[in-house]
Amino acid sequence: MAEVKENRPGEKKKKEKTSKLTEREKKILSIVKNNPEGINLPEISYITGVEFFSIIKDIKKLLNGGNIKKEKNKYFLGNTNNFK
């Protein structure tokens, strides 16, 4: 039988990685899709109404997932097969 390890007191549980997109990430994807010439972070921030410091995490997740790509300071639609 496989041994099951429990977290010790004070240890944090490891978060499971998920590829499911949040509503804000979906909105960012939609904005990028509607701007095929590329769009920069302050413009995305303005359109979403969210400070750009707050959406950097979303942008990084979308970049890492291949949903968007960055060239210079502009974001473009990435691999559309990654949409969920």
DSSP string, 3-48: PPPPPPTTPPPPPPP--PPPHHHHHHHHHHHT-TT-B-HHHHHHHH
Q: What is the pLDDT of residue 15?
A: 47
Q: What is the pLDDT of residue 7?
A: 55
Query: Which tens digit of pLDDT belongs to each residue from 65-74?
Result: 999 999 999 9
Locus of tokens 């890492």? 64
Q: Could you tell me the residue ranges of all domains in the chain?
A: 23-72
Is-contact 63 70, C-beta < 8 A? yes
Q: What is the pLDDT of residue 16?
A: 41
pTM: 0.71
* Cα(21)–Cα(65) distance, integer angstroms: 10
Query: Which tens digit of pLDDT belongs to each residue from 3-55?
Result: 545 556 665 554 444 469 999 999 999 999 999 999 999 999 999 999 989 99
